[in-house]
Amino acid sequence: MSPLVLAYLALLGALASAALSLGAERYPGLLRYGSFALLGASGICAVLGGAWVLLSGGRHSAELALGLPWLGWQLAFDPLSGFFLIIVGLLVGAVSLYGPGYMRGYLHRRRRESLVALGTATGLFVAGMYLVLLAADAFVFMVAWELMSVASYFLVAYQHQHAANRRAALLYLLMAHVGALAILLGFGVLAAKGNGFTFEAMRAATLSPTWASIAFALAFFGYGMKAGMVPLHVWLPEAHPVAPSHISALMSGVMLKVAIYGLVRFCFDLLGELQWQWGMTVLVIGAASALLGVLYALMQHDLKRLLAYHSVENIGIILMGLGLSIIFLANDHQVAGILAMLAALYHTLNHALFKGLLFLGAGAVLHSSHEADLNNMGGLIRRMPHTALYFLVGCLAISGLPPLNGFVSEWLTFQATLQAPVLASGVLRSILPVTAAVLALSAALAAACFVKVYGVAFLGQARSRHTKRAREVEIGMRAAMAALALLCVLFGVFPTTVIGALGSIPLMLVGQGPPSATTEGWLWLTPISPEIASYSAPLVALALVATALVFLFVRWRALPRRRAYPWECGFGEVNPRMQYTATAFSMPIRRIFAPVWDVEERIEESADSVQPAQVASIRHQLHIHDRSWLRIYEPIGRLVITAARRVGRIQTGSIHAYLVYSFLTLLLLLWVVT
């Protein structure tokens, strides 16, 4: 028995889930219970296998008699792939609990949406992610990468009767293949210099600084497009909202992390000597992604679209940590570089947990209320108290508030930026504090955004008929959210345990263990040294619990109070129209950061038919457009369409012309070959 056997079982469990789903059209119970049960088993195997290899620090490899005749499938299982396998397994396990209850809403629409396609594509999607993490040669990696991308395309296009869903799926597939082509070319550079497609041969390749930079640029473009970094993020807010909610949780919580895994593997493991210019590129683009992602999210009122933009923000925070790590390691500052790497890896884990929780919570709201627009929600805390509690934990975690897990990884990233004085370059020493300020601003805006989300959706009064009729979701869906919420708390209260477990990753990649983050024991986290900075999450959690108990005691001992309706300021009974909307809440931020978006705002006034001087009604229209789409992708689209129309002119419809084209092509090929 070895960790690799558990990884095989996880992969086989996902494939078996896909195979079992082939009978779901006739027997829907196979999908709701059999397929999701197999996914849950595969998730457990992935977590156990990943934890085993992460804690042991070993490396296990194997070769399967598949693939090319002269190159079998090379597989490897080491601490880096084990850590990411844990992330995938945790979310897959949560989805296996969540899926059966959520799928009840699709059983009544089987004529339009195939349950076979949903179950089969889900199993293949998970299997593709597992195989990416186990691949040890470029051939297996690209096959698994394409399996992951194509399967997720069918999941995005699942409700294909809507034109917007088909458009989002096509955009996602197009950008996924452009990114895959860049990754393939990056592998090609390493394979050409290393005389082999295996990762072992690529590690032994000797590259000049120019070729190394070309390979890095190709890989960063390809993996960054899949991860959703700015300005390659435009597919993400289109694809995530239209997929089923448990698939959105997997795509945002896990698939984006698989792209981060590819970037870490390529840069820190395969590419060889690092250059500080690469780190600066990653750092700047990460900072831009973090800030622009949260600003775009603040302007959204579709809940799942808002969460998708927040994935851009958190990917930016992860890239900031990786960029800092490359800068410090390239300048021979091992301690600071390892700290930044651990911060990025920790935030990768944390984002998977709280973003998966939030997407599952959004799916529960959509499942129960049939509302996706925040402006149509309200008062859900009374109708869905358990979902409201778990969603609140996710909101606090993603806002970076202690003692939850999001705070720890962002705090570690701050500590890494504060190590700028160790750098010899004055330019680098001046840029790093600016990125720290961007990170602080992004964290503050994220907190404001989720105050808006939770206040508008769960507090106040219901704004629509569907919201008034909302009911709590099934126990399986609540259990999945409760499990992720508990992990958000545990990984926030006991960060020293997590840091200690992650120590084998920098030891494998850099040759040195993590800094003295746990020298003061499990109670105190000291990233550099106790004299510089320390944080005790257990004490913070204990103080918050004590404060809550005191508040409850004082409230219990207080004199009874008369309950009454809130004062209506003389305007009559308070009604939902008097509440803040999501659009109104974000209006001050929209005014301050107006240059970030292309804003179309119109106010139409209708005059009274009897008294024309009097206004009868006012209609407010607000459209906020992503500048990346308008400035980059629309011009490319117009250029492609124009080129296609001009090329289409050669299609004259004449067989004689086509024979001439074929003859000229044949002559050209003969000339090139000879």
Average pLDDT over residues 219-231: 94
pLDDT at 8: 94
Q: How would residue 650 be classed by pLDDT, with cut points 50, 70 and 90?
A: confident
Task: State residue 583's pLDDT score.
Answer: 83
Q: What is the mean pLDDT of residues 339-363?
A: 95
Within 10 Å of residue 633's Cβ, how many Cβ atoms? 17
Average pLDDT over residues 331-355: 94
**Of the ranges 230-244, 431-445, 650-664, which one carries the lowest mean pLDDT score?**
650-664
For the whole model, what pTM was predicted?
0.92
pLDDT at position 279, please? 94
The pair of structure tokens assigned to 359 is: 């997407």
Instruction: Yes or no: say if 393 and 489 are a contact pair by the CB < 8 Å rule.
Output: yes
Tokens of 190: 């390493």
Report CA torsion sign: 325, 327, 333, 336. Answer: negative
Mean pLDDT across 377-403: 93
Q: Is the pLDDT of residue 645 over 90?
A: no
Give per-residue pLDDT as tens, 120-130: 999 999 999 99
pLDDT for residue 256 is more than 80: yes
Query: For residue 41, what pLDDT is reported?
Result: 95
Residue 134 has pLDDT above 50, yes or no: yes
Residue 580 gets which letter from DSSP? P
DSSP output for 455-493: HHHHSS---SHHHHT-----HHHHHHHHHHHHHHHHHHH
- Asked if residue 71 has pLDDT above 80, the reply is no
- The type of residue at 348 is T
> Which pLDDT score, from 0 to 100, does residue 652 have?
73
d(CA 602, CA 261): 45
Three-class DSSP labels, 304-333: HHHHHHHHHHHHHHHHHHHHHHHHHHHCCC
Backbone dihedral region for residue 272 (phi beyond 0: left; psi -120 to 50: alpha; all else: beta): left
Helix (H, G, I), strand (E, B) or coil at 140: helix
Q: Which of 327-336, 389-398, 530-539 has the lowest mean pLDDT?
A: 530-539
Residue 112's pLDDT band, with cuts at 50, 70 and 90, is very low
**Contact by Cβ (8 Å): 415, 528:** yes
Which of 382-391, 560-569, 616-625: highest mean pLDDT?
382-391
Mean pLDDT of the chain: 88
Angle between helices 334-369 and 405-417 (to 10 degrees): 150
Residue whose pair of structure tokens reads 């700028």 in the numeric block: 420
> Phi/psi at 273 (nearest 5 deg)?
-65, 130
Please state, in angstroms and rounded to a whole number, the distance separating the CA atoms of residues 307 and 313. 10
Q: At what angle do helices 303-330 and 426-458 cross, to 10 degrees?
A: 160
pLDDT at residue 434 greater than cutoff 70: yes
The partner residues of 75 in beta bridges, in order of sequence, read 62, 135
In whole angstroms, give the CA distance from residue 275 to residue 216: 10
Residues 6+ apart with CB under 8 A from 290: 313, 314, 316, 317, 320, 438, 439, 442
- Name the least confident of 75-79, 105-109, 511-515: 105-109
- Averaged pLDDT for residues 430-447: 92
Of all residues in the chain, what percent carry a pLDDT higher than 90? 53
The least confident of 271-285, 332-346, 498-512, 554-568 is: 554-568
Q: At what angle do helices 79-102 and 3-20 cross, to 10 degrees?
A: 30
Is residue 521's pLDDT more than 80? no
- The pLDDT, as a whole number, for residue 526 is 82
Band of the pLDDT at 439, cuts 50, 70, 90?
very high
- Predicted confidence band at 559 (pLDDT cuts at 50, 70, 90)? low
pLDDT of residue 183: 95
CA 101 vs. chain centroid, Å, equals 24
Cα–Cα distance between 393 and 361 in angstroms, integer? 11
Confidence bin at 113 (pLDDT 50/70/90): low
Q: What is the number of H-type helices and E-type strands within the chain?
A: 29, 4
The band of 115, judged by pLDDT with boundaries at 50, 70 and 90, is: confident
pLDDT above 80 for 69 = no
pLDDT tens digits for range 260-315? 999 999 999 999 889 999 999 999 999 999 999 999 999 888 899 999 999 999 99
Q: What angle (nearest 5°) sits at the alpha carbon of residue 185, between those of residues 181 and 191? A: 140
DSSP letters along 515-564, please?
Answer: -STTTT-TT-B-SS-TTT--B-HHHHHHHHHHHHHHHHHHHHHSPP----
- One-letter amino acid for residue 108 of the chain: H
pLDDT computed for residue 517 by the predictor: 66
Reported as a single tens digit per residue, the pLDDT across 161-216 is 888 888 999 999 999 999 999 999 999 999 998 888 899 999 988 889 999 999 99
Does residue 106 register a pLDDT over 90? no
pLDDT band at 490 (very low <50, low <70, confident <90, very high): very high
| DSSP-assigned letters across all residues of 253-306 | IIIHHHHHHHHHIIIIIIS-S--HHHHHHHHHHHHHHHHHHHHHHHT--BHHHH
Q: What is the mean pLDDT of residues 454-464?
A: 89
